[in-house]
Amino acid sequence: MELSQLRMFKKITDNGGIARAAEQLHCVPSNITTRIKNLEEELGEPLFIRKGRGLVLSPSGEVFLAYTNKILSLCEEAKRSIGAGSSPIGTLSIGAIESSATSRLPKLLSSYHLSYPAVNIEFSTDTWKNLENKVVKHELDGAIIAVKTAHPSLHCEAIYWEDLAVIASSALNNIESPESLVGKNIYMWPEGCPYRKALENWLSESGISVPITSIASYGTILGCVSSGAGVSLVPKGVFEQFKLIGGIKGYSFAALKPIHNYFIWNKETGHHPAKEAFLTLIKSEM
């Protein structure tokens, strides 16, 4: 078993097929097919099941992926430890909830790249729960979420407060209180989103219960709101990013308390200059 085989296996799982993995690894698909077949023969178990034109993990593959992530993470840690004290290099895999990715991360990632050009950043967005799971499984080096995790495998550090804004079409009457939302369509991220919970609590304190339509995309939510179809509650940074498009008003209320955002990373992660530099930059710029 070789590290190159594990990296090929990981790339296939990340991309759902051999062709895309081959592109990213700069090799021909037949080479990957042969190496994975040799790996399966060594393990005595199939790692993938063909589904349509793609591949999905077999039950044995699911188990093997967890070990692969740990092995590759340890290899990266070993390389970092040998180079301790030097400028950050290598790969940094970072995840974030969409609100942070939309409003705060673009400038931060640009600053990071200028300061540490030798670091290759792999960035992705997801729900806070999925990001938490990926950090636990060593699929991400760290993530920004809006929930203070209590997972025993993770470090969790508060990094900034996110102010909230109720948004509505400029064509609608002003939103003056929770009662102003009665009779309007409300669009929010699905259950589990801390911003949705903040809105629900705000309405509940006024004795208001209204149906909420779940949409897992700020772009779609903002499109619905700007068209006059309804209202939403979003991080103020998201509103600031999109208000220039026009057609959207934002409203702030003292009872809508800011939400803390956190940076999480796995406790098993050893010396990691790239991640530590990223966290330092977050705290200095946010």
What is the third-level CATH fold of 1-64? Arc Repressor Mutant, subunit A (1.10.10)
Strand ranges (E), 85-195: 90-96, 119-125, 142-145, 154-162, 164-169, 187-188
Q: For residues 213 and 211, give the distance between their C-alpha atoms in angstroms, rounded to a whole number.
A: 7
Task: Please give the pLDDT value at position 85.
Answer: 59
DSSP conformation class of 150 = -
**Strand pairing of 213-214 and 187-188?**
parallel
Using CA atoms, how far residue 235 sits from 116, 127, 145, 169, 260, in Å, is 29, 15, 13, 16, 11
Helices (H), 206-235: 218-226
Could you list the pLDDT tens digit for every one of the 286 residues in the chain? 888 899 999 999 998 888 888 988 888 989 999 999 999 999 999 999 888 778 889 999 999 999 999 899 888 777 766 665 567 888 899 999 999 998 889 999 999 999 999 899 999 999 999 999 999 999 999 999 999 999 999 999 999 999 999 999 998 899 999 999 999 999 999 998 999 999 999 999 999 999 999 999 988 999 999 999 999 999 998 998 888 777 899 999 999 999 999 999 999 887 788 999 999 999 888 7
Q: What is the pLDDT of residue 193?
A: 92
Whether the model pTM is above 0.85: no
β-bridge partners, 233: 166
pLDDT at 243: 81
Q: How crowded is residue 64: how many other Cβ atoms within 10 Å of its Cβ?
A: 20
pLDDT value, residue 153: 95
Cβ atoms 228, 123 nearer than 8 A: no
Q: What is the pLDDT of residue 86?
A: 64
The phi and psi torsions of 195 (rounded to 5 degrees) equal -75, -35
| CATH topology agreement for domains 1-64 and 164-257 | no
Question: What are the distances in angstroms from CA 167 to CA 6, 184, 249, 257, 278?
Answer: 47, 12, 6, 16, 32
- Strands 119-125 and 90-96, sheet pairing: parallel
Helix (H, G, I), strand (E, B) or coil at 109: helix
pLDDT at position 81 is 65
Amino acid letter, 86: S
Assign a CATH topology to domain 164-257. Answer: D-Maltodextrin-Binding Protein; domain 2 (3.40.190)
pLDDT of residue 77: 74
Q: How do the domains of the chain map onto residue ranges?
A: 1-64, 164-257
Number of C-beta neighbours around residue 179 at 10 A: 12
DSSP 255: T
